[in-house]
Amino acid sequence: MRVIFIRSNSVMPDPRVEKEVNSLINKGYKVKILSWDRMNDSNNTKNGEIKLGNGSVPIRWFNIKASFGGGLKTLKGLFLFQISLLFWLIKHNKEYDLVHACDFDTVLPARICTKVFKKKIVYDIFDYYIDSFQVPKILKPLIEKIDILIMNSVDAVIITNESRLEQIKKSNPKKIVVIHNSPEEMSREVIQGLPKIVSMKNKQYINKSDKIKLVYVGILSYNRFLLELLEIIQTNSRYELHIAGFGPYEANVENSSKEHENILFYGKIPYNQVLNLEEYCDVLFAVYNPSVPNHKYSSPNKLYEAMMLGKPIIVARDTGIDQLVEKFDIGKVVDYEKGSFNKALSELAEIQKEKWDVKERSQKLFFENYSWKIMSERLSILYSDLLKSEK
């Protein structure tokens, strides 16, 4: 089966896309990725390839300048991207059998073409659109209605955790599969042997200090407690923040790293270096604002990475993942404010690192319930079922 994977970012990196594609090519599927490079303003397309663990896959970037999280400012770029996708899928309709569309901002042109040309389609919902993005209030009912119609018409819907069933309860998909944002299993020795990175400030890697090292890798954007975290770390030399990623707060983070020795910024890094960085730190961090509707159903990579690595993680209350963290005692749950976060950090700091006892619990939970081996098998079964129904 020939598969077109569509994502509205440049995919380098995009851990979920890379893992799913890697699993598919391991099963013999021929995959091509179509993606949107928002940082390139050349208004043309570029072909290349992405090297994954099980081989390389071709990728086509649509270079259309736009911002991340720009609300209405992003609409023009999004419209041009979707038109480009539509024309490509029409022109190359004989080159694919199934389209795997990631999120609402790719599924519209994908659904049109798969309907016209009688192709299979999988709708992979990383984030529920009306709860995740700056959609104008007046447009939300219309977009939700279209989204539900699409969910009900595609061959299968994928969601990132079981709590999302509540989020999409108005829909009635033909088939629904849960694939968590789990990392691919790696031993500590393999992770430590991955390519190391250096901070942008002083070109050094993680030092050997006894400070509690917090790590955050991801989008540097609103409602993720990032500016608050910078303020906390700046005023407390007991802690060290290792932070990587890109987004609206990139300049804030870089400036803070230049002014404070205990903040190290790494910029945008590939996924194989993410686990290496997290392994060398002490505490992971995924504190999302619970007032954002989509955050009540969050399923961040960092939670599963923390479980696999056996590291404690700090999360916000009422964000879906807090119940798991609290139930199995694999980290700290905080309110979305500095006082609560400071208290959690102080409690961790008072305990000697070698006495932190989350490792065994976290790793047992991960390997028995959430490992990528389990998720990959779910994806494989889904595709196998779709292939059978085609015959």
Q: d(Cα 238, Cα 346) in Å, to the nearest integer?
A: 9
Token pair belonging to 309 = 């690595």
Q: Which residues contact 254 (CB under 8 A, 6 or more apart)?
A: 200, 265
- CATH superfamily to which 188-369 belongs: Glycogen Phosphorylase B; (3.40.50.2000)
The pTM is what? 0.87
Residues in the chain: 391
Percent of the chain surpassing pLDDT 90: 72
The answer to whether the beta carbons of residues 292 and 257 sit under 8 Å apart is no
Same fold, 2-181+371-390 and 188-369: yes
Q: Which of 182, 184, 177 is nearest to 378 (CA)?
A: 177
What 3-state DSSP class applies to 106? helix
Q: Which DSSP letter does residue 370 get?
A: I
Going by pLDDT thresholds of 50, 70 and 90, the confidence category of residue 13 is confident
Q: What is the pLDDT of residues 102-111, one digit of tens each?
A: 999 999 999 9
Going by pLDDT thresholds of 50, 70 and 90, the confidence category of residue 33 is very high
Q: Which segments of 214-337 does DSSP mark as H helices, in order? A: 226-234, 250-259, 271-279, 301-309, 322-328
Count CB atoms within 10 A of the CB of residue 162. Answer: 12
Of 57-61, 187-191, 231-235, 343-347, which range is least confident?
187-191
Task: Calculate ∠ Cα 353-311-335, nearest 5°.
Answer: 95
Please give the pLDDT value at position 203: 47
Q: Which of 201, 24, 211 is nearest to 122 (CA)?
A: 24
2-181+371-390, which class in CATH?
Answer: alpha beta
Q: d(Cα 349, Cα 345) in Å, to the nearest integer?
A: 6
Q: What is the pLDDT of residues 37-51, one digit of tens each?
A: 987 766 678 899 999
Domain definitions of the chain by residue range? 2-181+371-390, 188-369
The answer to whether the beta carbons of residues 341 and 329 sit under 8 Å apart is no
